[in-house]
Amino acid sequence: MLKTKPLDEKDTELIKQAEAIIEQNYSYGRHHIGAAVRTKTGNVYAAVHVEANVGRITVCSEAMALGKSISEGDHDFETIVAVAHPHPHEDIDHCWVVAPCGMCRELISDYGKDTDVILLHNDALVKCNVLELLPEKYTSDLD
């Protein structure tokens, strides 16, 4: 059972910032996912995913947003969200929230175990701690 929390105004704004970054930078086959991360300082860093011809080397938007934040010296994450932008051949006129992939769940929790993730759960947008999404997380620690 996922332990979820309701979104607040700052979370709604975070989703809008993830939408804005991908709306500004959407490019078919290159960029169609945007993410925004809010840090404990209140700053928001938004980024798009970087698609590669060799699919497995594609870099997710969450990783790009974390990297942007860390590169600016902002290391303490509060909440993160990713959204998908529709392709021209899809009959959809809005972005939608997507859950982080397994690798991003690992990455987000490596860099902030108390980070919340916004996702769709039981047809509602909610947030939950990243570790809720990654039971028995990999660790090389002995303890």
Which residues contact Zn ion by CB under 5 A? 60, 101, 104
- Quick check: is 62 catalytic? yes
- The terminus-to-terminus CA distance of the chain in angstroms comes to 26
Which amino acid is residue 83, in one-letter code? V
Smallest separation (angstroms) from Zn ion to the CB of 143:
28
Q: From the CB of 55, what's the least distance to Zn ion, in Å? A: 12
CB of 138 to Zn ion, least distance (A): 15
Of the pair 56, 89, the CB lying nearest Zn ion is at 56
What does the chain come to in residues? 143
CA triplet 25, 107, 17: central angle to 5 degrees? Answer: 30
- Closest CB to Zn ion among residues 8, 137: 137
Annotated active-site residue in 13, 19, 51, 62: 62
Q: Which residues neighbour 96 within 8 Å (Cβ) at sequence distance 6 or greater?
A: 83, 84, 120
- Catalytic residue numbers read 62
